[in-house]
Structure 1
Amino acid sequence: MKRRAIIAGTGAALPENCVSNDELARKVDTSDEWIVERTGIRFRHIAAPHETTATLAHDAAKQALETAGLDAGQIGLLIVATATPDNTFPATATKVQAMLGIDDCVAFDVAAVCSGFLYALSVADSMIRTGVADHALVIGAETFSRILDWEDRATCVLFGDGAGAVVLSAEENSARGILSSKLHADGRHYDLLYVDGGPSTTGTTGKVRMKGREVFRHAVTNLASVMHEALEGAGVEASEIDWVVPHQANIRILEATAKKLGLSADKLVITVDRHANTSAASVPLALDSAVRDGRITRGDLLVLEAMGGGFTWGASVVRY
């Protein structure tokens, strides 16, 4: 029998504080027009002091468990994808595990920035296929506002905080589930998108630094390429795709990538206008949004894709 990981439930969590471009312009040298024209972003959620990556991850996970109809104790694997962990160690995943009341499971973090959720999803899929767990929680969670330089007007307006989660469950001989995943990394481009700090180098957390124009150019090429690769791995054509659930970095990147694949823009799930770039949280947040509003229904063919600092990038083809 062929064992496959299906998406049994989704969940999301956003900080209470929703900040508009106009509100942001009161403390940053920018404007609503400037931000919308270049990125498509209109709002972002900013975490309050009591809201952390772990608390957001926990809330998204609880919602995903509820949707899947599972108890936390049934989870055998918990992966948190994040670039903004609560602590250098232990892993944020172990904090979420304890908050959910899970006595024992495999729990660890994955660090691949904006591609982190795709990396975590692929790892969880492999572990479910090989019998490590029957049910897994895969969470993308970030508090990127903690590492932004609020004087860097070109970068700080792009990001927001939040968490998204999926429950993966093992199913035998199912037509649904994760059909194909392809991941890549190229560390030669480190200096185009990075944080200028860390325990081993500066002893500080550091701030996000980005060369947006160069990142844009790489993103469109790499994302179109890896999506083709994932579709080929799944044995399906681009014309069969019902929805693309992309990393929500910039509306221009989303539209340019769709055009390169010959896809209609109305097949894109877009939340960047409401959430901004939430790094590893953006794909599961967008997925949950489209599931809850009824756009994505059982049996739909999805492509999830993302690219982030490193560079890292990846795509998964999923029959929902």
Structure 2
Amino acid sequence: MQIAITGTGCYIPSITIPNDDFAANNFLNSDGTPIQHENRLVIEKFKAITGIGERRYVEPHLNTSDIALLAAEKALTDANIDKEELDYIILAHNFGDVSSGQSQSDTIPSLASRVKHLLRIHNPKCIAYDLLFGCPGWVEGVIQACAFIKSGMATKCLVIGAETLSRVTDPHDRDSMIYSDGAGAAVIEAVENGGKILSHATRTFTYEEAYFLFYGTSYRPTAKNTKYIKMYGRKIYEFAITNVPKAMKECLNESGAGIEDVKKIFIHQANEKMDEAIVSRFYGLYDRSMPKDVMPMNIHKMGNSSVATIPTLFDMVRKGNLKNQSIEKEDVVIFASVGAGMNINAVIYKV
């Protein structure tokens, strides 16, 4: 028996927000003082570091569970399985359903239960639950699905990553330009022949790192007491480039594959410079240079949609929807992510 990804799907929101749309924002420092640069310079520097030129936002009538459903339906169709055969629906997110114009998160019932309801699945043995694990949530969902199948508790699992970060961003915080919305999904199955999950690794660092990402108030002192996603960007950058390459190396060594076998690295689309540094350091651990085109990127047009970045990126490459990027049968690829917690994980997968 092998454990494979047999179907994928994603939902890319229809509303495109270019960087120029932030030109009129009143950006402030964390202490509420004005930033001493024109917004034009702030935006130029932002793009140079993150690589983001535009991002996608969901339409007002859609919520996180709605776009999770849309991605899930595509993955189920792609896998060509009966939805009633699913043993688990694992839905990774961080903020639940936050309706347009609102600030309160809604997680009762769980988003996974909502998706199961919307899929009209009758089978009560299909267990639906949410996974809160920061940006690495979808990868961790794949790892949990793998564990369920290995243990004999499941044969088919649906793993979804969905988020609407546009609804939890502070318009006075420059970091608000990073975040976006989206959803990606994959069906994980026990198969006789096909792809194979070779190994996985997960780490949680909390001694000093637990609050590198957090929920905080607006940078505008007179703003109402609404909380938004906040982060210590420099600390996250230093943490990620130090720890993620090590976890990737441990995972690859455990898989039995060699560094020369790796064809693609699907890394969380957090920040282009940070991702390049992580992958470059990973290859440096093997005394190699980072190969050209080994790291597909869609952050330039999609932004950072947290748990949705890797499944969306993988679906796009798998289906030939990202220019100059493709994967073939038998290719060895790596999924790797870092995010709130602080959590790190990686999966080595043979397509």
Query: Offset of 1:45 from its aligned partner?
Result: 0.8
Q: 1:50 aligns with which of 61, 73, 85?
A: 61
Q: 1:212 aligns with which of 217, 233, 238?
A: 233
Structure 1: distance between partners of 2:165 and 2:271: 16
| 2:167 pairs with 1:146 | yes
Structure 1: distance between partners of 2:309 and 2:191: 26
Q: 2:83 aligns with which of 36, 55, 72?
A: 72
Structure 1: distance between partners of 2:2 and 2:112: 23
SS at match of 1:85: coil
The structure with the largest alpha-carbon Rg is 2
Structure 1: distance between partners of 2:75 and 2:303: 22
Give CA deviations for 1:99-130 in whole Å, capped at 9, x if unaligned: 11112311101101101111111001100122
Structure with the bigger percentage of helix = 1
Query: Offset of 1:228 from its aligned partner?
Result: 0.3
Query: Offset of 1:205 from its aligned partner?
Result: 7.1
Counterparts of 1:168-183 in structure 2 under 5 Å? 168-172=188-192, 174=193, 176-183=195-202
| 2:297 pairs with 1:270 | yes
Structure 1: distance between partners of 2:213 and 2:292: 27
Q: Which residue of 1 aligns with 2:211?
A: 191
Q: 5+ residue gaps in structure 1?
A: 198-203
Q: Which residue of 2 aligns with 1:289?
A: 316
Structure 1: distance between partners of 2:12 and 2:206: 31
Q: Which residue of 2 aligns with 1:201?
A: none
Q: Which residue of 2 aligns with 1:200?
A: none
Q: Retained in 1: the 8 A contact 2:134–2:306?
A: yes
Count the aligned residue pairs: 310
Query: Offset of 1:177 from its aligned partner?
Result: 1.6
Q: Retained in 1: the 8 A contact 2:25–2:172?
A: no
Structure 1: distance between partners of 2:329 and 2:156: 19
Give CA deviations for 1:256-295 in whole Å, capped at 9, x if unaligned: 1121122324100111111111111111011011111160
Letter of the 1:318 partner, please give it: Y
Letter of the 2:132 partner, please give it: A
Query: Offset of 1:12 from its aligned partner?
Result: 0.4
Q: Which residue of 2 aligns with 1:164?
A: 184
Q: Retained in 2: the 8 A contact 1:73–1:101?
A: no
SS at match of 1:242: strand
SS at match of 1:139: strand
Identity, % of aligned positions: 30
Report the TM-score, using the length of structure 2 for normalisation: 0.85
RMSD of aligned Cα (Å)? 1.6
Give CA deviations for 1:36-94 in whole Å, capped at 9, x if unaligned: 10100111111222111101110001111111112322212100010021223221001
Query: Offset of 1:35 from its aligned partner?
Result: 2.3
Q: 5+ residue gaps in structure 2?
A: 28-38, 98-105, 218-224, 284-289
Query: Offset of 1:159 from its aligned partner?
Result: 0.7
After the TM superposition, which of the residue ranges 260-269 and 275-284 deviates more from structure 2?
Answer: 260-269
Q: Which residue of 1 aligns with 2:36?
A: none
| 2:279 pairs with 1:258 | yes
Counterparts of 1:1-320 in structure 2 under 5 Å? 3-27=1-25, 29=27, 30-31=39-40, 32-86=43-97, 87-103=106-122, 104=124, 105-153=126-174, 155-172=175-192, 174=193, 176-188=195-207, 189-196=209-216, 206-262=227-283, 263-293=290-320, 295-320=326-351
SS at match of 2:341: coil
Q: Retained in 1: the 8 A contact 2:266–2:334?
A: yes
Structure 2: distance between partners of 1:108 and 1:214: 31
Report the TM-score, using the length of structure 1 for normalisation: 0.92
